[in-house]
Amino acid sequence: MATKIESLTKETLLEWYREIVLIRKFENMCHHLYFEEKDPARKITGVYLHLATGSEATHVGAVKALGVDDHVITAYRDHGIAIARGVDPNRVMAEMMGKRTGTSGGKGGSMHLADRSVNFWGGYAIVGGHVPLGVGIALKEKYVKSGSAVLCFVGDGALNNGYFHEAANMAQVWKLPIVFLIENNLVGMGTRIEESSGQTNPVKRAAGYGMKEGPSVDGQNIVEVYEAVKAELDWSRENGPVLMESRTYRFEGHGVSDKQFDARDDLKGELAIWEARDPINVLADHIKKKYKNIDDELAKLDTEATQVVNEAVEYAVNSPAPDYNDLIANVYVALTPEYRTR
Partner 1 sequence: MKNLSMRDALRAALHEEMIRDERVFLMGEEIGKWQGTHRVTRGFYEEFGAERVRDTPISEMAIAGVATGAAMAGLRPVAEMMTINFAFLAFDAIINHAAKIHYMFNGQFTVPLVVRAATGWGNQATATHSHTPEPIWAHFPGLIVGCPSNAYDAKGMLKAAIRDENPILFTEVIALYPKPSPIPDEEYLIPIGESAVKREGDDVTIVSYGRGVEWSLEAAETLAKEDIQAEVIDIRWLRPLDMSKTLASFKKTNRCVVVEESLPHYSFGSEIAAQLQEAAFDYMDAPVKRVSALDVPLPYARDIELMALPNAQKVVQAVKEVL
Which residue ranges make up the site for partner 1 (CB under 8 A)? 71, 103-108, 112, 114-116, 121-122, 124, 126, 129, 131-141, 143, 162-163, 166-167, 169-170, 173-174, 326, 329-335, 339-340, 342
Nearer to partner 1, 272 or 332 (CB): 332
- CA 82/CA 70 separation, integer angstroms: 14
Nearer to partner 1, 54 or 188 (CB): 188
242: helix, coil or strand?
A: strand
**CB 231, min distance to partner 1, A:** 24
**CB 161, min distance to partner 1, A:** 9
**CB 209, min distance to partner 1, A:** 11
Q: Which of 5, 11, 28, 25 is nearest to 304 (CA)?
A: 25
- CA 231/CA 223 separation, integer angstroms: 12
How many CA atoms does the CB half-sphere of 153 hold within 13 Å? 36
Task: Mention every residue, 6+ apart, whose C-beta is less than 8 A from residue 205.
Answer: 159, 168, 199, 243
Nearer to partner 1, 112 or 250 (CB): 112
Q: Which of 5, 27, 2 is nearest to 226 (CA)?
A: 5
**CB 239, min distance to partner 1, A:** 18
Q: Which of 113, 110, 86, 111 is nearest to 96 (CA)?
A: 110
Beta bridge partners of 39: none
Q: How many CB atoms lie under 10 A from the CB of residue 207?
A: 12
Q: Running DSSP on this structure, what letter comes out for residue 322?
A: P
Nearer to partner 1, 4 or 340 (CB): 340
Nearer to partner 1, 23 or 131 (CB): 131
Phi-psi category of 109—alpha, beta or left, where left has phi over 0 and alpha has psi -120 to 50?
Answer: left
Nearer to partner 1, 142 or 247 (CB): 142
**CB 151, min distance to partner 1, A:** 14
Query: Residue 221: what residue type?
Result: N
Nearer to partner 1, 31 or 107 (CB): 107
Nearer to partner 1, 201 or 239 (CB): 239
Q: Which of 259, 184, 166, 256 is nearest to 225 (CA)?
A: 184
**CB 138, min distance to partner 1, A:** 8
Cα Rg of the chain (Å, integer): 20
**CB 232, min distance to partner 1, A:** 20
With the CA atoms of 69, 7, 9 and 286 taken in that order, what torsion angle do they form, in degrees rounded to the nearest 10?
110
Nearer to partner 1, 231 or 329 (CB): 329
- CA 88/CA 68 separation, integer angstroms: 16
**CB 261, min distance to partner 1, A:** 31
Q: Running DSSP on this structure, what letter comes out for residue 320?
A: P
**CB 19, min distance to partner 1, A:** 23
* Maximum distance among all Cα pairs of the chain, rounded to whole angstroms: 67
